[in-house]
Structure 1
Amino acid sequence: MSRFPLDVLIDTFYLLPVKTLLRFRALSKSFCSLIDGPDFVKHHLEHSLSTKSHLILILKGLHLYTVDLDSLDKAIPFSEYPESIWGGTEVFGSCNGLLALSNSDQDFLLFNPSTRKLFKLPVEIIEVPNDSCIRGFVFSGFGYDHVNDDYKVVRMVRFKQDEDDNIGWFSEYEVKVFSLKTNSWSRIKKLPNYLRFMFQFYFHLMHRRGYGVYACGVLHWVLPRRPELGVGNLIVAFDLVDEEFRVLPQPDYGDNEKDFVLDVGVLEGRLCVICNYNQVKVDVWVMKEYGVKESWSKLFSIERSRSISSFRFLKPLAYSKGCGDGDGRDKILLDVNGEKLVWYDWKRKRLKTVRIKGAPDSFGTFLCVESLIPLIDEKKQQRQEKKRNHNRKKRDDFLSKGFKLVL
């Protein structure tokens, strides 16, 4: 291999899947150092994202399954589960090859399915504001802070006065953010008043709508329309860099604004809104330039058919591979009702059901890119372990010299 120029070798390695690269680490110390290096990890991820390669679907049923996005032929259950992942574990986010998992409102984990590395977040107790409050719904989200090169988990806990308090007048919120870089939680103190109206019973308990949608360094949730309070649909955004809330501008829907249920999604890194008209018709809009209201464009509309009797839930996942940019992309993969995947050709208005062997009957879907992103700084961990061993040796030497037995 020494006969190959290093730049050619590195460029070739960028094309390889993670599974192959992990095997190559065992070939030599130089290969191991190269593949584990932060620059290689970063550029391998960037190459995969830019070329839309090494993409997999994560299906969450009773267990976790992976499906190759290029073939979509077989669902492979995870083997050799880490002890912390079990049947009740939920997936609430995916970013740069990492999955955010939860076993409970206080038990969170980050998992790289390609390297099988797992990181358990320190437990952060939910602090009830006062004795008259009880804990209500919990929102969660996961994403990447590109400015500080940090991965963050957001947990929003809604409190209410009693079990029947679902209107929101007296609701309080606790919002905390976990930073992987510092391995610590911090509390967000500046909270907008509209948060108290975010929860609506049926909207958020169905189809995992409490999970934030990550796009462009920001997490997004929907504050559903509350006609009895005079509150319209809002897209609530939490910037992972500034760690502040704001309301995102929406498309001009025209006269139909009050006739649909709003949801949010992401398609190739761009934020989408999904307008569901009484489970009969769905409009999907995409924001081409983040934060710019005028950049919203209606991507397609889809109506129920013989194969799909109703749209309780619809989630855009990916464009078909090999399509060109912009309007040349004529097929899109959709998760319909958490029960089936379909390719939708919006130019011909045709649906084609994707049949995946071994897939569960119902599932949540998350698009994931294979990556080498580490969950801990292994060199830092080695230095800390070396320091601990050194201090332990000094202590043992002191004890052995200072407390000699006299016979």
Structure 2
Amino acid sequence: MQLAYLVNQYPAVSHSFVRREILAIEALGHSVSRFSIRAPQRDLPDARDRQEALKTATILSGNSAGLAAAAIQRLLRHPRRVLTAFRQTRSAPGRAGLVRRIAYVAEGIWLGRELERAGVQHLHAHFGTNPAAVARVAHLVSGISYSFTVHGPDEFDEPAHIDLPGKIADASFVVAISDYGRSQLCRWSKLADWHKIVVVRCGLDIDQFDQFAAENENERDLDLCTIARLAPQKGLPILIEALGSLARAGRRPNLTIIGDGPLRDELEAQARNHGVADQVRFLGARDGATVTEVLTRSKIMVLPSFAEGLPVVIMEAYACGTPVATTAIAGIPELVDRSCGWLIPPGSAEALAAAITAGLDSSIAQRQQLSAVGQARVRDLHDVRKNAKQLVGHVEAALQ
């Protein structure tokens, strides 16, 4: 099949799961054209992402004249289709919302034209926000079928505002990455559309991670690690607070944080205020090899999120043989339970400190047993090759 993918920003440090999915689909013999609404992230640390950037067409890249020309041409040839797309595209009220709405339509028209030129049979978008809006317009003006993957939590924060029900109604199928995610999509769609909502979990290249998994637990010289965007939804201030509580009790585990974001300065200041700055290393955004190295050197991966879909980093931690302490929210309990880690209520620094203490007090054999259960689950549920076949099967069914 000739397929296309659309992402709001691709490639990007946080979108490695999209890259793995695309490459797995191509390994099955299909062709995938890559499209990104915004330009790829600058200074990509991973060479694989830099290679993907060379294969990706950007819609908004000094292309305003091209977008306008494509929109006018399509409006003259197929005015009814364009007007339908405009009516069915939602955005915020007011002048700014109108401008955004017009932009979505223009982007979708341009994309639809490019899909036609490339002979694309089906378009798949990642995220139910603006990529799904643009994909929907491309479908309405070109007739090319589309689907999209919803990760959460952003799509579930304002489902009516982004017209999630309408996007689901017009799509051939919609992918949730967890059973929890499917339940939320069902909640915000018509009963008649529930059959379109399927679960295809995010996947890893299992064989690649197997070679990094530490065989000797004694070699783990790091206590804790966190791999996350430094944003409010990740709950990292709770982790710093928990470290401060442990320090006052005379326990000072080290923590390595990989990731960047708007809270970095505040988190660094918070670590100083709690007297744990010397325990916390902020490494910023790093490539996949560094993430894997830190995971395999850490005794526990900690993720105190307030809102999630189902974090890929949890899968990566288990693939590296590292047990996880995280919050019992969204799709996380579908992968993590007491047999492979520590689940805590979100927002509780006290519960997180207790989980960290329990994890670090566990014997090597106990942590190995926990990680072995997690590894088995990841191999069963999150092998990108299996999941790519599953996704391709849904596309084939949609094209019949």
Shared fold, TM over 0.5:
no
What TM-score results when the alignment is normalised by the length of structure 2? Answer: 0.24
- Which structure has the greater CA radius of gyration? 1
What TM-score results when the alignment is normalised by the length of structure 1? Answer: 0.24
More helix by share: 2
